[in-house]
Homo-oligomer: A and B are copies of this chain.
């Protein structure tokens, strides 16, 4: 799957993943009204509104980008109906040829991590049958609990040729509370980066590893150090746009081959129609606004990766 992701990024010249993090407040009124008319102002109504919103955006951008990244929290907030929307969104994105990165940030002790892995990137055995629940190709993981919380995910991914991105230096302002603290003279996130590299060398695709890292666009200087520590890890880069990162600042995330990073934008793409810049599209053409925002992001990112 890492080979497929890299090949799509090259072909499309777009190291871009569109974050499908649908706050209900992003969903245009006409989409919400249609869902609420059919299902009421209920959790099902919310799930259906989100799913309709997502599919319109996927239809508008699937030929431009290699991947989407649904953020499961935005679905989980609506309970079972939200999780159904998450599952349908993953399946719809797959049907359109997109790589699906499930932003789930899970992590637990051994057998429990394996259970998460089975649900998200593996297959559950029930009697003599096997079932795939959520059709994700990659998932994000939290490393706080150490190797034996991460490696059960890697084990399942090896069986399924799927991959992980491990939180290393996250994009949020407080990420430094623990991640920046110095251990033997080096910040914790670099020690996590060392482990990402070590785990990843044992699970390589053609040029890059199935074990990647999450490093926030908001911290390019730190990315420069991490890029060297884990040269074979693909870096998933959140925090572009809305959180402050810009294309010209992202060069340190990429390797000399122009590869090695995939930049996420969520609100900046899916709620583009709310920005003054794309106001001419109007709420009724929200998906076309998203398409234009992807095209603009693609141009902006060339400052980072075209060598």
Chain A interface (Cβ within 8 Å of chain B)?
A: 21, 23-24, 32, 36, 41-43, 45-46, 71, 73-74, 76-80, 82-84, 87, 105-113, 115-116, 118-120, 124-129, 131, 133-134, 142-149, 167, 170-179, 181-184, 188, 191-192, 195, 238
Contact present for A79 and B134 (CB under 8 Å): yes
Contact flag A133-B78 (CB < 8 Å), given A83-B83, A113-B73, A145-B167: yes
Q: How far is the CB of A294 from chain B (nearest CB, A)?
A: 22
Residues of B within 8 A of A43 (CB): 124, 126, 131, 133
With A83-B80, A115-B73: A149-B174 Cβ-Cβ less than 8 Å = yes
Alpha-carbon separation in the docked complex, A59 to B105 (Å): 34
Q: Once the chains bind, are B183 and A181 in contact (CB under 8 Å)?
A: yes
By a CB distance below 8 angstroms, the chain B residues around A77 are 115-116, 118-119, 124, 133
Q: A73-B119, A77-B133 are in contact. List 17 more A-B contacts (CB 8 A).
A: A32-B127, A43-B124, A43-B126, A46-B126, A71-B112, A73-B108, A77-B115, A79-B119, A80-B133, A142-B142, A142-B145, A144-B178, A145-B175, A146-B177, A146-B178, A149-B172, A183-B188
In the complex, which residues of chain B have a beta carbon less than 8 angstroms from the beta carbon of A174?
145-149
* Chain B residues, CB < 8 A from A106: 73, 105
Assess the A82–B195 pair: CB atoms within 8 A.
Answer: no
Partner of A133, one of B79, B113, B176, B192: B79
Alpha-carbon separation in the docked complex, A192 to B134 (Å): 33
- Flag if B129 contacts A148 (CB, 8 Å): no
Contact of A172 among B73, B129, B146, B178 (CB under 8 A): B146
Given the known interface contacts A46-B124, A148-B172, the answer about A87 and B76 at a Cβ–Cβ threshold of 8 Å is no
CB pair B124 A78 closer than 8 Å: yes
> Nearest 9 CB-CB pairs, A to B?
A79-B133, A41-B127, A146-B177, A146-B174, A148-B174, A77-B115, A73-B115, A77-B119, A144-B144
| A–B complex contacts, Cβ < 8 Å, 15 sampled | A23-B111, A24-B125, A41-B129, A42-B126, A43-B124, A73-B108, A143-B144, A143-B178, A145-B167, A145-B170, A149-B172, A178-B188, A178-B192, A181-B183, A181-B184
